[in-house]
Homo-oligomer: A and B are copies of this chain.
Amino acid sequence: MAVTYELLNTCSYSRARRGRLHTPHGVIETPVFMPVGTQATVKTMSPEELKEIGAQIILSNTYHLFLRPGHELIREAGGLHGFMNWDRAILTDSGGFQVFSLSSLRKISEEGVEFRSHLSGEKLFLSPEKAIEIENALGADIIMAFDECPPFPAAREYLKDSAERTFRWLKRCKEAHRRPYDQALFGIVQGGMERDLRRESAEQITSIDLPGYAIGGLSVGEPKPIMYEVLEYTTPLLPKDKPRYLMGVGSPDDLFEGVERGIDMFDCVLPTRIARNGTCMTSIGKLVIRNAQYAKDFSKLDPNCSCYTCSNYSRAYIRHLLKADEIFGLRLTTIHNLYFLIELMKKIRQAIEEDRFLQFKKDFYTSYGYN
């Protein structure tokens, strides 16, 4: 099997668990945060920099790469690993989410989804078979099944139909998968914010034996307490001996709340996106570096950080670079934010190992704030 999961320990007072994913491109310590490299690059970063900050696995987007430069080209380049010069693990999503969030004029049928490219306007079609064909060409270690990610709010009837279609699509994905020996197919539980639909979906999805399972359809606009509630009742429905991936989630508090409820994997564009807007995550909370108060502040971004940015540059310099639209500024804030989340996850793993996760969470909220 392309990916195997090893459960190391679970906390006494929460479902937080420490594990290990074995992949063809290295071992991943979980819980893990996966930086997003949408277009075969984590925005502003080099592979060496990603390794330096401790990234174990990155995510890339099937929808974007299908549109540009095309999966056949990437296959010829030796897959995503060869194309982008990254020799650690990669996960690709299936394009399902982007078809629904980025493209226009979607037409959903049992067969798949017809949509228009957000780049060229060209009419395109994605189906379970096509998505897996693309993901097989991209060659990531973990590939996601083609699903439908409904918006929030959505009618119960629609959510039910959609989750059932996602289940039927999963069976077709597994059937179409040509590289099960070196690519692990994960199924995605849907069902919106409806408890019984989540249960139904989880039962269906886990009835297919797969190396991992994801929870999709969250962080789509619902209030955070609702997301936590869905996690609360959904993760126990997933097998203990398989990794659990919460898709598209990555704010510090969501990582804590997800881990507490038994999630092992997270991804989100948040740290890199807000970095480019000049918002930095620090041990004492968010810091908007463009603010005038930092103009003559020669201290480091985060007093308790030892990333490349904090080791070498002042708030004043970083602010200057961002105000002057200099790319190096975006590099510095991106490095810092990713380092922050990856280090946070490292500390979370240690806290789980030492069975003091809930205390660590409390301490973190006290210094960082909750938002």
Contacts and interface: CB of A to CB of B under 8 A. Distances in A.
Nearest to A331: B46
Contacts of A68: 320, 323-324
Interface string A55-75: 000000000100011000100
Contacts of A44: 327-328
A38 B320 CA distance: 12
Copy total for this chain? 2
Interface size band for A? 35 or more
A39 B330 contact: no
Contacts of A83: 314, 316-317, 320
A330 B319 CA distance: 21
Given A39-B324, A298-B77, A324-B39, A69 B316 contact: yes
A351 B51 CA distance: 40
Contacts of A313: 85
A329 B44 CA distance: 9
A247 to B, nearest CB: 23
A77 B316 contact: yes
A328 B69 contact: no
B326 A327 contact: no
Nearest to A313: B85
A182 to B, nearest CB: 22
A296 B76 contact: yes
Nearest to A321: B41
Interface string A297-330: 0100000000000001110110111011011111
A356 B132 CA distance: 59
A39 B321 CA distance: 8
Given A85-B312, A312-B85, A317 B43 contact: no
A41 B328 CA distance: 7
A334 to B, nearest CB: 9
A45 interface: yes
17 contacts: A39-B320, A40-B317, A41-B326, A41-B328, A45-B328, A46-B328, A46-B331, A68-B324, A69-B320, A73-B295, A73-B296, A73-B320, A77-B317, A83-B316, A83-B320, A85-B312, A85-B317
Interface of A: 39-41, 43-46, 64, 68-69, 73, 76-77, 83-85, 295-296, 298, 312-314, 316-317, 319-321, 323-324, 326-331
